[in-house]
Amino acid sequence: MSKTLNLKLKIWRQSGPHAQGAFLEVDANDIPEDASFLEMLDIVNERLIADDVEPITFGHDCREGICGTCGVMINGQAHGPEKATTTCQLHMRKFNDGDQIVVEPWKATSFPVLKDLMVDRRAFDRIVEAGGYISAPTGTAPDANEIPIPKEVADSSMDAAACIGCGACVAACPNSAAQLFTSAKLHHLNVLPQGQPERWRRTEAMVETMEDFFGSCTNHGECHEACPKEISLDFIAFMNRDYVRAKITNRSLASQ
């Protein structure tokens, strides 16, 4: 059996989007050091259930850091103190016996709290729907090797495509801006040859949809620090450049 920790938790509880929330203070004793952060919450929940208290609701699914469902603010940091790590991959050995841990849901106007630690991130889907795709209906594709892509370009595209859409960037941003998420999706598609025909339409539409929901970037860099996939701030610069070019190019395309 691994070592155990005794912790003091302050966990946000909120019964619905419009309800007043408050911290629940609860002692979490004998937490195995090898448990993940979400397993720690599982244990707390099992004890709450034993006491006939409704368990804490939190989003989670794959628990291996790729689905992007989980994510909470842990002691004021999105996904907690460990760099490049999702909440599900954060393990309790990173904490000390006796620590107080404050747990809050992501907070942003367009990420309304649904219940406790679970938030609604559909705004991200709206941004992708605005243009985050390459229109290639099934069956229309040429041979995959017909369009060579320099390795550097494919790698750069992949760096951006690694985004898991968890929302930590918005949560960590003092402006609740979604620049890192949006620019990562744009970069993924905009650098590829296949992404060129729709590049300017895509950029304009996605940026403007993003601005319907989220704040303005002031280049703090908190998003990058919070990002479990370490998505680079460079993509934001790339998006800024592409957006102004898009405004010009789309104007001239419209006159053709």
Partner 1 sequence: MVTLDAKIPDGPVQDKWDNHKFSVKLVNPANKRKFDVIVVGTGLAGASAAASLAELGYNVKVFTFHDSPRRAHSIAAQGGINGAKNYRNDGDSVYRLFYDTVKGGDYRSREANVYRLAQVSVDIIDQCAAQGVPFAREYGGLLANRSFGGAQVSRTFYARGQTGQQLLLGAYQALAGQIAAGKVTLYNRSDVLDIVTKDGAARGIVVRDMLTGQVHAHSAHAVVLATGGYGNVYYLSTNAMASNVTAAWRAHRKGALFANPCYSQIHPTCIPASDEFQSKLTLMSESLRNDGRIWVPRDHDETRAVADIPEDDRYYYLEEKYPAFGNLVPRDVASRNAKTVVDEGRGVGPLKNGVYLDFAAAIARDGEQAVRERYGNLFQMYERITGEDPYSVPMRIYPAIHYTMGGLWVDYNLMTTVPGLYALGEANFSDHGANRLGASALMQGLADGYFVLPYTIGDYLAPKLGEAALSTDDPAFTDAIQAVDNRTRRWTSKKGGTHGVEYYHRELGKIVWEYCGMARNEAGLEKALSEIPALREEFRKNVKVLGTPDGINTMLEKVNRVDDFMEFAELKARDALHRAESCGGHFREESQTEEGEALRDDEHFAYVGAWEWNGDDQAQTLHKEALNFENVALTQRSYK
Partner 2 sequence: MAQTIADHSVPTVRKRAPQLPWPLNLYQTAIGKKYAMALTGIGLLGFVVVHMIGNLHLYEGPTEVHEYAEALRDLGGHLVPRTGVLWVLRLGLIAMFATHIHAAYSLSRMSHKADKSYVGKRDFVAANFASRTMRWTGPIVLLYVLFHLADLTWGWLNDDWYAGDPYNNVYVSLSALPIAIIYIVANVALAVHIFHGAWSMFQTLGINNPKYNGMRKGFARGIAGLILIGNLSFPLAVQGGLIDIDNHTPGSYAIDTEENG
- Of residues 54-73, those binding partner 2 (CB under 8 A): 73
Candidate ranges 27-35, 51-59, 86-94, 224-232; the one touching partner 2 (CB under 8 A):
224-232
Q: What angle do CA 90, 217, 84 make, to 5 degrees?
A: 15
User: At closest approach, how far in Å is the CB of 24 from partner 1?
Assistant: 15
Residue in 232, 125, 112 with CA at minimum distance from that of residue 176: 112
Distance CA 132, CA 112 (A): 23
212 binds partner 1 per the rule CB under 8 A: no
Beta-carbon contacts of residue 27 (< 8 Å; ≥ 6 apart): 6, 7, 8, 9
**What does DSSP assign to residue 36?**
B
Closer by beta carbon to partner 2, 38 or else 123: 123
Query: Residue 203 corresponds to which tokens in the numbers above?
Result: 């950029």
* 27 is a contact residue toward partner 1 (CB under 8 A): no
138: left (phi over 0), alpha (psi -120 to 50) or beta: beta
- φ, ψ for residue 180, nearest 5 deg: -65, -45
Of 6, 29, 62, 100, the one binding partner 1 (CB under 8 A) is 62
Closer to partner 2 at the Cβ: 140 or 252?
Answer: 252
Distance CA 6, CA 96 (A): 8
CA distance 10 to 170: 22
* Two tokens, residue 45: 């929940």
Nearer to partner 1, 59 or 219 (CB): 59
Which of partner 2, partner 1, none does residue 54 bind to, with CB < 5 to 8 Å depending on kind?
Answer: partner 1
Contact pick of 207, 228, 229, 231 for partner 2 (by CB under 8 A): 207
Q: Cβ closer to partner 1: 101 or 218?
A: 101
Question: Taking CB under 8 A as the rule, does residue 227 contact partner 1?
Answer: no
Is residue 3 near partner 2 by the rule CB under 8 A? no
Choices 33-41, 54-62, 143-151, 220-228; region in contact with partner 2 by CB under 8 A: 220-228
Q: What is the DSSP letter of 88?
A: G
Candidate segments 41-49, 145-153, 169-177, 185-193, binder of partner 2 by CB under 8 A: 169-177
Residue that is written with structure tokens 């909470």 in the block: 72
Q: Which of 24, 101, 102, 114 binds partner 1 (CB under 8 A)?
A: 114
199 binds partner 1 (CB under 8 A): no
- Specify the DSSP class assigned to residue 204: H
165 lies in the binding site for partner 1 (CB under 8 A): yes
Q: For helices 151-161 and 179-190, what crossing angle results, to 10°?
A: 150
For partner 2, the binding residues (CB under 8 A) are 10, 12, 21, 23, 73, 75-77, 81, 102, 104, 107-110, 112, 120, 122-123, 126, 129, 173-177, 207-208, 211-222, 224-226, 233-234, 236-244, 247, 251
